Structure 1
């Protein structure tokens, strides 16, 4: 147990102006003699180091760490000392000195501790908290205990992909030993690995997710967290490992680099090599200046664009570079350097030789030199919004004609249309605009809906096409293109009655429209096929009944 007292101490004199405080509800009192040097206090399980002097109230000294010449160490909250010590020291800061007045219920109770401590004694301890090592039970079952031997910097810690939409690469210095002292693996210069790879043993990954940059820790690891399901394989590699051996691991987190999952499916990953400036990033339509090199995994360079003196310039989301790289660059900040890993799903045919599709992924080393953002819609006045929407519509039309329906659809997409609808509403109620301006705004909105519906039909997204056409028809019930494209969508989802109603109405409005007439013929052929199918089913049913 811990005991206390020193003839030179003056327990009765606290810091002027700081009264005794009660800790808990069982009579434990604390008077601060000297303030601590930090705001932090130890946690249960931490290994604390204290000096103390102790006595029975109105009685004899019961011990002092000063007399022994060495501080007293114990694990906080583990019942290694009396309860009053556990409760009182838990409120102290590093360097703090205080007087703890401990009632019998939190000391030695009715039994006392003869011969020094009589029954029902109140104890007086002068305690100085020198330091502590944080010890954490990382799994809650004693399987991985971590003692911090050097605090890290800042507040950030690595996290797995589920927590931060990221995979982390962690350089560490480590020394892995068995409890009997047998050394298994050691690195004094650091090694890089993905945090979820289970390098050496799964416990290292668990511990690293709790560590800060520069932190040093010692791990005490039970066998099933040390080798787990890989135990037999490890036993074959390390013949010296006895069965069910536990591990002691010294670990230092040197740094980490965050890898962003750009697309959310692991097909475009960005590892930040050098952080950029500020918080701003390019938006869609931004003019971007970059330097990049595309490489295969063996290091072979297959493309290189720009230099720091003469960077490569392009407009984001205009299909001037492959989509995966485009998306990754839009997550970067000015001056940022990154390594981007892209699967073939996002490469298409930009800068990529045939070998790329055989290797399935490639790497891009990218530096974002500078960018100029496209003016956002919310900063535009109404006429600027209308002009921007007209530009986007024309760009979408060009993509549609080139057969790039998905990209064309995005040109007509929701953000632009929402801004356009606001512009239309403003035009309608601003008397400085002419009827021609209002007509132009509404026509542009309907044109975007119709063009996007055409894209959706080509992409097989028929329900979206129906929704877009219905929006047009709410405003213009006689719009032939809307009736025609909605009929197309109904036909392809086998809603033949709805398809017939729309195409007949379109024919009534424009009986000479060639596309409408062909669609009507297609509908009639489909109805005949369906009638034959129904007749076949009916015939089969009758034959089985006879």
Structure 2
């Protein structure tokens, strides 16, 4: 075990100690980073590329002078492993650690701050000593709701990633608990993985992968096979899954700027049809992907002629309306309002957009806004019975909320009154007690004065 004394000796002695006790963890074994385990960690998993890790550390120069410490700040240091966010020595060493492990590192300049150093605390060309404790680590979250988490086993090549519409070739293995239920090589179009029995979460993760990468993808049920499950794989409803995926090759789809307008219009018609198929099958997330592709292609376009302009507006209106409907089904109400607003900007009297925005406002208990939308629908189409029914529903909900608020406030005021009465009663008792005590003291003083009289 390395001691603090080992960390304060001169450079040559420190190298000798680490050479004798440590392990060279550099890929080419050039003795650039030596590691000595000071305290063994817990048996089990080790961090992978891209994991979010949390550590405590102390860094010293070879003369023993401390230049940095998370312990002094009383706050762990967090970073994404293998992403170049820290010095090379750390990316190498932390990947070799277990949760709870404490290790000592001796790092040559080329694996630390190099020829420039890190002024003013770290001089140029400095070898450094670190004590590092790995507190915790978890995979990289690919969605805001934590539904897709990725851990990279093997780093891919280059900086290019598949995009929506790209054709990918992968090898995948799907597991439910300890059971392997799917193992195959498969070719599919990103955004249309459902056609090949590939869950939404794996499809969405493709845009983060690089050629040759092998990663483990953890899926919450929403991004797996959802409430329906997958009977052919014997996957029940609301089941979490784990996939190991290797991206063998891919061919990117054309980006928007690479396509002519007529090509975008023709492709949009095909993608709209695909989105409609997903919607009818109840696969609303997959439908959203298709409609959003159309919007991304056409939102900034203006046709050269009247006919092109008309087709652009028709496709945009339909896509935004369909997105609003998908988001209604998914209960993502802010997105419903956003997409309806975009339709209304193009067509202020669009009956469907006004109605769907009203539905979203109603579900958010924004009754005044909902009623305004449904009344606007009736101005556009006075025979819309659904809008009339929704106005009645808004009025009913407003009365219910008003009555509930009255009960809440009545109870609140009753409690205030009871509290005030209780406080008043206690105050009267205290005043009466004080008055009684004062009267008693006055009587005693009078008796004493009468006894003192000659």
Which bin holds the TM-score, normalised by the shorter protein? Answer: 0.5 to 0.7
Determine the C-alpha separation between the residues in 1 that align with 2:268 and 2:369. 32
Give the whole-Å Cα distance in 2 for the aligned partners of 1:220 and 1:345: 42
8 Å CA contact 2:106–2:129 kept in 1: the answer is: no
Shift of 1:283: 1.6
Distance 1:478 1:361, change over 3 A: closer
Which residue number in structure 2 is paired with residue 519 of structure 1?
A: 387
Q: Deviations over 1:129-165 (max 9, x none)?
A: xxx6698xxxxxxxxxx99785835799988624554
2:81 paired with 1:161: no
CA distance in 2, matches of 1:409, 1:363: 23
Alignment partner of 1:457 is 2:325: no
* TM-score, with structure 2 as normaliser: 0.58
- RMSD, aligned CA: 4.7
The superposition leaves residues 206-258 of structure 1 with CA deviations (integer Å, 9 ceiling, x where unpaired) of 7499997xxxx999989xx79x9xxxxxxxxxxxxxxxxxxxxxxxxxxxxx9
Total equivalences in the alignment: 330
- Which range is displaced more, 376-385 or 500-509? 500-509
Task: Kindly indicate whether the alpha-carbon contact (under 8 Å) linking 2:219 and 2:242 is maintained by their aligned counterparts in 1.
Answer: yes
1:147-199 Cα deviation digits (max 9, x unpaired): 9785835799988624554599xxxxxxxxxxxxxxxxxxxxxxx9973512x
Task: Flag the structure with higher strand content.
Answer: 1
Q: For the Cα contact (< 8 Å) 1:343–1:362, is it kept in 2?
A: no
Change (3 A) 1:361 1:474: closer
- Residue 423 (1) aligns with residue 304 (2): no
Q: Distance in 2 between matches of 1:492 and 1:266?
A: 24
* Correspondent of 1:317 among 174, 191, 213: 191
Deviations 1:441-495 (A, max 9, x none): 1121122222112222222233332232222222222211122112222222333
Gap change, CA 1:209 and 1:331, over 3 Å in 2 = farther
State the alpha-carbon separation in 2 of the partners of residues 537 and 409 from structure 1: 38
Whether the 8 Å CA contact 2:166–2:250 is kept in 1: the answer is yes
Cα distance in structure 1, aligned partners of 2:280 and 2:319:
15
In 2, the alpha carbon distance for the partners of 1:369 and 1:293 equals 14
Q: 1:439 to 1:197 in 2, by over 3 A?
A: same
Gap change, CA 1:532 and 1:266, over 3 Å in 2: closer
Structure 1 residues without counterparts, runs of 5 or longer: 1-43, 50-72, 76-131, 136-145, 169-191, 229-257, 307-311
Aligned equivalents of 1:207 and 1:294: distance in 2? 38
* Greater Rg by CA: 1
Higher fraction of helix: 2
Aligned to 2:398: 530
Indicate if the aligned counterparts of 2:150 and 2:215 stay in contact, CA closer than 8 A.
no
- The 1:147/1:218 distance shift into structure 2, 3 A limit, reads farther
TM-score, structure 1 as length reference: 0.49
> 2-side partners of 1:536 and 1:361: how far apart?
43
Given that 2:148 and 2:217 are in contact with CA atoms closer than 8 Å, whether structure 1 keeps it comes out as no
Q: How does 1:364-383 map to 2 (within 5 A)?
A: 364=244, 366-383=245-262
State the partner residue of 1:302: 181
Residue among 202, 210, 218 paired with 1:333: 210
CA contact (8 A) 1:259 1:272 kept: no
* Contact 2:361/2:369 (<8 A) preserved: yes
Asked if the contact 1:277/1:335 (under 8 Å) is kept, the reply is: yes
Q: Which moved more, 1:280-289 or 1:455-464?
A: 455-464
